[in-house]
Homo-oligomer: A and B are copies of this chain.
Amino acid sequence: MTDTSPFTVVAKEGPDQPPVTPELEDLYRGFEKALLVPLWTEIGGLMPHQPASKATPHLWEWTTLVELAGKAGELVPVGRGGERRAIALANPSLGGRPYATPTLWAAIQYLMPGEDAPEHRHTQNAFRFVVEGEGVWTVVERDPVPMRRGDFLPQAGMHWHAHHNAASTPMAWIDGLDIPFQYEVESQFFDFGRDTISEAEHATPDRSRAERLWGHPGIAPVSQLGSLPGSPLLAYRWVDTDAALVDQLDLEREGFPGVVEPGHALVRFTNPTNGGDVLPTIRTQFHRVTPGTQTAPRRETGSSVYQVFDGSGRVTVGDHAWSVTRGDLFVVPSWQPFSVVSQASASDSDSGALDLFQFSDAPILERLNLFKSTVEDHS
């Protein structure tokens, strides 16, 4: 390597490679000087026959996350600059970057009683999902939105937002964002808002204004119409999600369509202005797998993060497998086969079903004509 080149072009050996001669080495030195890299030495890694995921399947246990977040609650203040007491899942094969997958960020966020997280906005699309607790309000465009177990709260890019904990106990939840994706394509803007939120925004209404406008099934406010890139509905409540899942499984028992496969109910959170995904870059879904059911292995281009909302079972991703229980988070990298078995229960009711919240980068791939999926026969 010469002084002027920041990298080395390494000759390879093989039937599909040119003979490694002094002339070839000279050529490769010329490539280095000119900042060039040949395709023929790199093509296997760059253009694989099928997706070769950079991320590794991995499980993070909720108890560990909550314990560490609790310690951070004592040691790390929340304020302008650091912005949020959020601790991100760092996939073990992504070089210590705080990325759950090559495109997705997943973090536990933690707020102590009485704390506020300051207002800001950013192009990164975000959501919150609550696996336990209540007492925090996220204030989006000055609209206070309560957060409680089971609720899903999307927040599309460039909406001002802050959080405040009105309860007497700490609260933890997960944040999902497209930080790694936007880091890669370099589309990020970020603005600070007000350092302190107003008395009015410390209000703790039971429903957000967004829900009062958009939370009625199939019914839209005429004054607010028009297709929006992100959902104007700022909270999808557990009571609704649960009811939708119960309905699918009841329909299955009655012999009607609804579930995606036997014993497996699946709903998608959608944008009521266009019926599409709730965020331009992130798909969010909720699965319920009845006790004893094993799902068919499924592969998809793009990656997902799952959190166990309830129940327990065993998850297989590629050649990894884990027993999982409430709050546990795990990663399904691109094109790795994924299936779960829900733990059989003593009774024959759905109680004890394995409930999984999922988020993925599927909208990115779908909108660019790159999404592909396949389900394997598992008989």
- Verify A185–B229 contact, CB threshold 8 A: no
Give Cα A251–Cα B225 distance, bound, in whole angstroms: 17
Which residues of chain B have C-beta atoms less than 8 A from A50's C-beta?
188-190
Please measure, in the bound complex, the distance between the C-alpha atom of A258 and the C-alpha atom of B220, giving whole angstroms: 10
Contact B209 A221 (CB under 8 A): no
Asked if residues A123 and B368 are in contact (CB atoms below 8 Å), the reply is no
- Give the residue of B102, B179, B233 whose beta carbon is less than 8 angstroms from that of A47: B179
A234 vs chain B, min Cβ distance (A):
10
Asked if A346 is at the interface (CB within 8 A of a chain B CB), the reply is no
- Which of chain B's residues have a CB closer than 8 A to the CB of A76? 18, 24, 27, 38, 40
Cα distance A272–B190 in the bound complex, in angstroms = 33
Q: Are A36 and B223 in contact (CB under 8 A)?
A: no
Do residues A103 and B17 form an inter-chain contact, with CB atoms below 8 A? Answer: no
The chain B residue with its CB closest to the CB of A18 is B76
- Report the separation of the CA atoms of residues A86 and B236 in the bound assembly, to the nearest whole angstrom: 41
Confirm or deny: A83 has a beta carbon within 8 angstroms of a beta carbon on chain B: yes
CB of A81 within 8 A of CB of B369, answer no
Would A86 and B218 count as touching, CB distance under 8 A? no
Residues B269 and A77 in contact, CB atoms below 8 Å apart: no
Cross-interface CB contact of A31 among B68, B222, B225, cutoff 8 Å: B68
Contact A75 B18, CB 8 Å, known A54-B186, A186-B335: yes
- Known interface pairs A7-B95, A51-B188, A370-B187; A27-B71 also in contact (CB < 8 Å): yes
With a cutoff of 8 Å between Cβ atoms, the chain B residues found around residue A43 in the complex are 81-84
Given contacts A189-B372, A241-B219, is CB(A102)–CB(B184) below 8 Å? yes
CA distance A98 to B43 in the complex (A): 10
Complex interface: chain B residues within 8 A of A38 (CB): 72, 76, 86-88, 98
Q: Which of chain B's residues have a CB closer than 8 A to the CB of A280? A: 368-370
Cross-chain contact A187 with B268 (CB below 8 angstroms): no
Residues of chain B within 8 A of A52, CB atoms compared: 186
Tell me whether A48 and B90 are in contact (CB under 8 A). no
> Which residue of B65, B219, B250 contacts A244 across the interface (Cβ within 8 Å)?
B219
Do residues A269 and B219 form an inter-chain contact, with CB atoms below 8 A?
yes
A260 within 8 A of B: yes
For the complex, give the distance between the alpha carbons of A98 and B45 in Å: 11
Which residues 258-294 of A sit at the B interface, judged by CB distance below 8 A?
258-260, 266-275, 278, 280-281, 285
Using A27-B68, A370-B187 as known contacts, say yes or no to A268 and B335 having CB atoms under 8 A apart. no
Please give, as numbers and ranges, the residues of chain B lying within 8 Å of A223 by CB-CB distance.
248, 257-260, 266
Q: Which of B51, B87, B212 contacts A250 (CB 8 A)?
A: B212
**Which residues on B sit within 8 Å (CB–CB) of A301?**
185-187
Cα distance A58–B36 in the bound complex, in angstroms? 12
Tell me which of B53, B96, B241 contacts A186 (CB under 8 A): B53
In the complex, whether A64 has a CB less than 8 A from a CB of chain B is yes
Task: List 17 A-B pairs, Cβ < 8 Å.
Answer: A18-B82, A37-B98, A39-B87, A46-B98, A46-B183, A52-B186, A185-B301, A186-B302, A187-B365, A216-B217, A217-B236, A218-B271, A219-B241, A219-B269, A220-B267, A230-B369, A272-B275
Report B-chain residues with C-beta under 8 Å of the C-beta of A49. Answer: 189-191
A17 to chain B, nearest CB (A): 7
A334 interface contact, C-beta 8 A: yes
Residues A3-20 near B (CB distance < 8 A) = 6-8, 14-18
